[in-house]
Structure 1
Amino acid sequence: MDTTPGVPDWVAPALESVLGRVSVTAAEAGDRFPLFADPGSGRWTTTGRGSWTGGFWAGLLWLRARHTDQGTDREAAVRLTGRLTDWVDADTATRGLILWYGTALADTPEAAALRDRAAHACQGAYDPRLGLVPWGSAFGGPRLLARVDGVPGMVPLLASIDPRAAESHLRRHLELCLREDSFCWSWRYEEPVGWVPCDDPPPGWSRGRAWLLLAVADAVHRLGADDPANAIRRLVPEDAVPPADAAHPAGPLDTSAAAITAVALLKLGHREDAMVLLDDLVHTHVTDDGRLLNGCYDLASGTATHHELVWGDFFLAYALAALTGLVDPHEA
């Protein structure tokens, strides 16, 4: 593969390898959605409807289709994206993750219509009293939550039709999550006291910082917001690949958080910093057959703590594709 001027010669082969892995995953998953894969065997644990990660699998299929320019790959991406339709009316703020990343790279009228339907559904769920789209009840538990993983994807999705709601959604989460002395990634709304902090996810959760940084990067571009330098400084981790929980520095890492951060940095124009993260990921954590290992799904429950994660694959592939020029950093 030809290399792009100014891009290290390892980037294009890495992208080729990661997208080659997508074809292997597609053959194994069939009509199901991959979630995480065993680090030894590479076998995937899958879901029937995709859960909150289904959009990342659709996004990977669209990246593969753009890379190969093969009709069969495009058809597979179209079919999978259509299966996300059931999530449009689901009561969950993770519709941002599912329906933004599942459609943003698609180039069909059907995908554009699905994205527009999703944006209007999320606008309808926006609560002006709370200043955000609540976490929702689709996955159980209390509905009136503000969780950091309900911000990425939701910001660009809302921004496409209602910039004020998008900005309010982000600002409220920034106010809640970035306390002066620590992080708090989840809050429950209770009458009459208002917002009450929750301890799950814990303050040291790696993806809390990554998800919020990604949302900030999208807001800077799509909402014309001032670059919130202080927030960015706090959200970029000191370690290239952070521990899954900062309270357990000797515990598992989370490469998926690093891949998300790399995409956010590319969006913010911090290209050299993104390259440092990607260099570490590719040369330390990606196998010869394109698997990004050492992602941590859930440390507290011990679920998939050293695994390949579908969203980690997506953000790594997206960052590499942005470096090669296959996609624009702001496309998704």
Structure 2
Amino acid sequence: MGDWLKDAISATVDKVSAQARRGGDFPHITEHGKWVFTSDGVWTGGFWVGLLWLGYELRKTDELREAATRLTERLLPRAADKVNHDLGFMFYPSAVKGWRITGNKRYLHAAVEAAHSLASQFNPAGGFIPGWGFFGSEDWSGSVLIDTLMNLPLLVWATNNGADAQLLDVVHRHARTALANHQRPDGSVYHVFRFDPANGNPISGDTYQGLAAASAWSRGQGWALAGFSMLADMTGSPDYLAAAQRVAGYVRNHLPEDGVPPWDYAAERGAVKDSSAGAITAYGLIRLWELTGDAEHLVLATRMLEALYRTCMGDSDIAPVLVHATADLPHGLGIDESTIYGDYYFLKALVALQEVESRQYGTTLSRVEQA
């Protein structure tokens, strides 16, 4: 097992532990290298709680468990959100993970409620969950974000834990809509696809955080790769598996030599990076390797994670884990900064890679978690 991997996990948990000791609200993105916090977690609070639970699993310290418990409790009322397509992001890393660790049934029930709240937003005419919730007053009722794929595993999990089995129909209909409209022939995906919300007719591909409608926003490629891979694992669908492999092929063909994605794969040479896209993509590649056994996926994931560790790991005297992330360049948010989702998927991917390497060296560890 590479020393860099052990060092990366240790350094990441050190940072998570230090932030837990500081207390406070939910870290979101940084400005000038300092965390901006939110009181309700907006759409990213689950990632910070997920980091705390992951850190607790690795270190078993009281401070990490207490912080994870306190902030999970603060998120539970959000399970009733009715205009929020990110409930999977909020509740899988926090309530589901917390329930698995503690057995607390309140976490289980809140996560199931969140799944029903997410499914209640489904537009049956178009076969999609709109990508609304945190974009101001603009009408997003006909806009579908590729990000939503990553929220669907909450629905699959919920059907195995007491939720209405019809939630699986929502999963498959939304995923099929994404397959038919978001993914392009070269394997890349639109960030946004717009539909007529009244009749569900497709209109056109678009973007919100990418360079252009026809470009390949790098974090969106990561969301698609990881989302389709997880859904393929959880449902057994060969169509989702094939879609994930197509995205992986696109990433492999367009990733720069340094192994860290630019904020958009169509951006000019030397454009700002998005380390969060690298972390999410690497996690998706590991999940894809678990399903296919194709060594190319694991080699590329390892290359990307080591590149993030060597070129984007924050110094020990700053709070965030990864620097050189770009949250939303077109709207001037978090450019060459840090994001809590980047930090979460970095640790998630590192732990997944460690489990893979441990199995290869003969140590018995659990298979990579479903989500």
The answer to whether 1:280 aligns with 2:307 is: yes
Given that 2:76 and 2:107 are in contact with CA atoms closer than 8 Å, whether structure 1 keeps it comes out as: no
Q: Could you tell me which amino acid in structure 1 is paired with residue 28 of structure 2?
A: L
In angstroms, what is the RMSD of aligned CA positions? Answer: 2.2
Q: Could you tell me which amino acid in structure 1 is paired with residue 148 of structure 2?
A: G
Instruction: Give the structure-2-normalised TM-score.
Output: 0.80
Counterpart in 2 of 1:156?
Answer: 153
Change (3 A) 1:104 1:261: farther
Counterpart in 1 of 2:288?
Answer: 268
Residues 247-256 or 187-196, more deviating: 187-196
| Higher RCO (CA < 8 A, seq sep 6+) | 1
Counterpart in 2 of 1:14?
Answer: 8
- State the secondary structure of the residue aligned to 2:95: coil
Given that 1:60 and 1:317 are in contact with CA atoms closer than 8 Å, whether structure 2 keeps it comes out as: yes
Counterpart in 2 of 1:185?
Answer: 191
Change (3 A) 1:327 1:93: farther
Count of residues in correspondence between the two structures: 322
Residues 17-26 or 319-328, more deviating: 319-328
Change (3 A) 1:138 1:310: closer
Counterpart in 2 of 1:194?
Answer: 201
Q: Deviations over 1:182-213 (max 9, x none)?
A: 74211232246822333423333111101011
Given that 1:253 and 1:294 are in contact with CA atoms closer than 8 Å, whether structure 2 keeps it comes out as: yes
- State the secondary structure of the residue aligned to 1:46: strand
Given that 1:105 and 1:331 are in contact with CA atoms closer than 8 Å, whether structure 2 keeps it comes out as: no
Q: Deviations over 1:22-80 (max 9, x none)?
A: 1222344x3311112356xx421111111111110010010111111123321211111
Alignment of 1:48-87 (within 5 A): 48-87=39-78
- State the secondary structure of the residue aligned to 2:301: helix
Given that 2:217 and 2:263 are in contact with CA atoms closer than 8 Å, whether structure 1 keeps it comes out as: yes
Counterpart in 1 of 2:362?
Answer: none
Counterpart in 1 of 2:27?
Answer: 34
- State the secondary structure of the residue aligned to 1:308: coil
Mapped to 1, the partners of 2:227 and 2:195 lie a distance apart of: 22
Mapped to 2, the partners of 1:317 and 1:251 lie a distance apart of: 25
Mapped to 2, the partners of 1:163 and 1:94 lie a distance apart of: 17
Q: Could you tell me which amino acid in structure 2 is paired with residue 306 of structure 1?
A: D
Select which of 200, 209, 219 maps to 2:231. Answer: 219
Counterpart in 2 of 1:3?
Answer: none
Change (3 A) 1:167 1:330: farther
- State the secondary structure of the residue aligned to 1:233: helix
Counterpart in 2 of 1:134?
Answer: 130
| Shift, 1:138, TM fit | 5.5
| Shift, 1:283, TM fit | 1.1
Instruction: Give the structure-1-normalised TM-score.
Output: 0.89
Change (3 A) 1:193 1:55: closer
The answer to whether 1:329 aligns with 2:368 is: yes
Given that 2:29 and 2:338 are in contact with CA atoms closer than 8 Å, whether structure 1 keeps it comes out as: yes
Given that 1:58 and 1:102 are in contact with CA atoms closer than 8 Å, whether structure 2 keeps it comes out as: yes
| Shift, 1:165, TM fit | 2.1
Counterpart in 1 of 2:272?
Answer: 252
Mapped to 1, the partners of 2:52 and 2:11 lie a distance apart of: 14
Given that 2:56 and 2:65 are in contact with CA atoms closer than 8 Å, whether structure 1 keeps it comes out as: yes
The answer to whether 1:125 aligns with 2:137 is: no
Counterpart in 1 of 2:177?
Answer: 172
Counterpart in 1 of 2:255?
Answer: 238
Change (3 A) 1:138 1:199: closer
Mapped to 1, the partners of 2:149 and 2:199 lie a distance apart of: 25
Mapped to 2, the partners of 1:138 and 1:38 lie a distance apart of: 19
- State the secondary structure of the residue aligned to 2:336: coil
Q: Could you tell me which amino acid in structure 2 is paired with residue 148 of structure 1?
A: I
Which structure 1 segments of 5+ residues have no match? 1-6
Given that 2:221 and 2:247 are in contact with CA atoms closer than 8 Å, whether structure 1 keeps it comes out as: no
Change (3 A) 1:247 1:324: closer
- State the secondary structure of the residue aligned to 1:101: helix
Given that 2:20 and 2:67 are in contact with CA atoms closer than 8 Å, whether structure 1 keeps it comes out as: no
